[in-house]
Amino acid sequence: MPLPATRIVDDAADHVRAVVHPEIYRHSLRTYLLGMEAARRDGVTDIDEESLFLAALFHDSGTAPVYNGPARFEIEGADAAARFLRAYGWGTAKVDPIWEAIALHTTPEIPERRGMVPRYMRKGVQIEFGSAQLRESFAEAIEAAESQYPRECLEEVLQGLVINQALARPQKASQPSWVADLVRHHRPGQPGINPAF
C-alpha cells in the first residue's frame, strides 16, 4: 500500500525521520499501514488517509530528544504534530483529530470513540503490539509492512526511550499511565521486554 503523496506528508516524513530513532520511524509507518488495513477490513472507504498518516508518523515523536518536554511523551508528540501542521496553515478542525489520536494512543477504549483517525491509529498500534491471535489475523498485512519497513527490537527501543525520559523527569510518568507501569516494572540492567509492555 503506497503512502499518501502530498507535500506535507513528504515534509513531515523527512522531519520525523531526522529526529526519532530509526526503529521508531519504521514502527510509525507500519502503524499507518496496519491502521489502514484495519479500516479496509471494517469497510471504511472515507477515512482521511493523510491525517491518519500524519498521526501515525508523529505518534511516538515525543520520544525524540528534540521533543522531550515536561509532559508525557504522548502529549509532547501530539503538541509537536500540532505545531508542525499549524505551520502549514492547518486549522483546528483538521489538527484536533490528529492531536487526539496521538495523545490518546496508549489509552484503552477512548480513541475508538473519538473518530476514525484516533480509532484506526490506535488499531494500528494494537496490531503492532497485540496478542498472537490478533497478529495472526493480520499476518499477511504485517508481513508486507515488515518487509517494507523492517522491525528490529522495537519493544526494547521504545521502552528504553520512554523509561529513560521518565526517570529523568518523573512527572512524565504520572499515574495512571502506561509509562508509569513501565517505570514501576523497570529493573535496571535486566534485558528483555518490560512486563508492563
**How many angstroms from the chain centroid is the CA of residue 88?**
21
Residue 61 in domain: yes
Average pLDDT over residues 151-173: 93
Distance CA 142, CA 130 (A): 12
Residue 182 in domain: no
The reported pLDDT for the residue numbered 111 is 93
CB 104 within 8 Å of CB 74: yes
Residue 197 in domain: no
The answer, as to whether pTM is greater than 0.75, is yes
Residue 1 in domain: no
- Which residue segment(s) compose the domain that 50 sits in? 7-152
Confidence of residue 14 (pLDDT cuts 50, 70, 90): very high
The reported pLDDT for the residue numbered 138 is 96
In this structure, what DSSP letter does residue 150 have? Answer: -
Q: Mind listing the pLDDT tens digit for each residue in 125-159?
A: 999 999 899 999 999 999 999 999 999 999 999 99
Confidence of residue 189 (pLDDT cuts 50, 70, 90): confident
Residue 147 in domain: yes
CB 178 within 8 Å of CB 171: no
Confidence of residue 32 (pLDDT cuts 50, 70, 90): very high
- Give the 3-state secondary structure of 88-133: CCCCHHHHHHHHHHHHCCCCCCCHHHCCHHHHHHHHHHHHHHCCHH
Which CATH number fits the domain that encloses residue 111?
Answer: 1.10.3210
Count of domains in the chain? 1
The reported pLDDT for the residue numbered 100 is 97
CB 75 within 8 Å of CB 174: no
Average pLDDT over residues 176-182: 89
Residue 187 in domain: no
Q: In 3D, which of 91, 37, 34 has the Cα closest to residue 59?
A: 34
Confidence of residue 176 (pLDDT cuts 50, 70, 90): confident
Residue 119 in domain: yes
Distance CA 59, CA 126 (A): 13
Residue 44 in domain: yes
